[in-house]
Structure 1
Amino acid sequence: MKLLSKDTENDSAGQVTLTPEQPEDMWHTYNLLQVGDSLQASTVRKVQAGNSGSYCIHTTVTICVQTIDFDSQACQLQVKGINIQKN
């Protein structure tokens, strides 16, 4: 995992920016996250355009973490939360 930036205080509060490079990095991220943390990530949303088909848009979401789950078979991190910032 690559640490891009870190801004922490003495009481362990703060912000870090990480980039996973290997599938097992999701496991380490799973162990770092807690309920109540905010998480920002980029995602792709599929938009239906009537009868002419659909297209994809890239967006960034910021959520307040409610539940965290790790799928060890697929090495995927599944995070559920509510949006706390407009896209």
Structure 2
Amino acid sequence: MKLLHKDIEKDNAGQVTLIPEEAEDMWHTYNLVQVGDSLRASTIRKVQTESSTGSVGSSRVRTTLTVSVQAIDFDSQACQLRVKGTNIEENQYKCWFPHLL
């Protein structure tokens, strides 16, 4: 895992920016993230739009989510980290994001 940025204070509050480089890095991240933490990640979501004529279209957009962590799960078979939480920063797209990768 690559550590890009670290800003930790004496009371252990702060932030880090990590980039996973191997599947095993998700396990280490699982052991770092706690309920109540904020997690920011880039994701791709499908957004539906409605034109003035009433036709509906959809497109895939990249957006950044900031989630207040409510639950964390690690799938050891797929080496995937699943985080459930609520979005705490406004987003330009009206979507519901129940979890991240």
User: Under a length normalisation based on structure 1, what TM-score does the superposition of the two structures give?
Assistant: 0.93
| 2:23 is the counterpart of 1:19 | no
Runs of at least 5 residues in structure 2 that lack an aligned partner in the other structure: 92-101
Secondary structure of residue in 1 paired with 2:16: strand
RMSD over aligned CA atoms reads 1.3
Q: In the TM superposition, what are the counterparts of 1:5-84 in structure 2 within 5 Å? A: 5-49=5-49, 53-84=57-88
Query: Unaligned 5+ residue runs, structure 1?
Result: none
Looking at secondary structure, tell me which structure has more helix per residue: 1
- Residue type matched to 1:41 in 2? A
Q: Residue 12 of structure 1: SS of its match in structure 2?
A: coil
Q: Which has the larger radius of gyration?
A: 2
C-alpha distance after superposition, 1:19-52 (max 9, x if no partner): 0000000000000000000000000011235667
Q: What stretches of structure 1 move > 6 A for 4+ residues in a row?
A: none
Task: Report the secondary structure of 1:56's partner residue.
Answer: strand
State whether structure 2 residue 4 is matched by structure 1 residue 4: yes
TM-score computed with the length of structure 2 as normaliser: 0.80
Count of residue correspondences: 87
Question: Identical aligned pairs, as a percentage?
Answer: 70
CA distance in 1, matches of 2:37, 2:75: 20
Q: Letter of the aligned partner of 2:5 in structure 1?
A: S
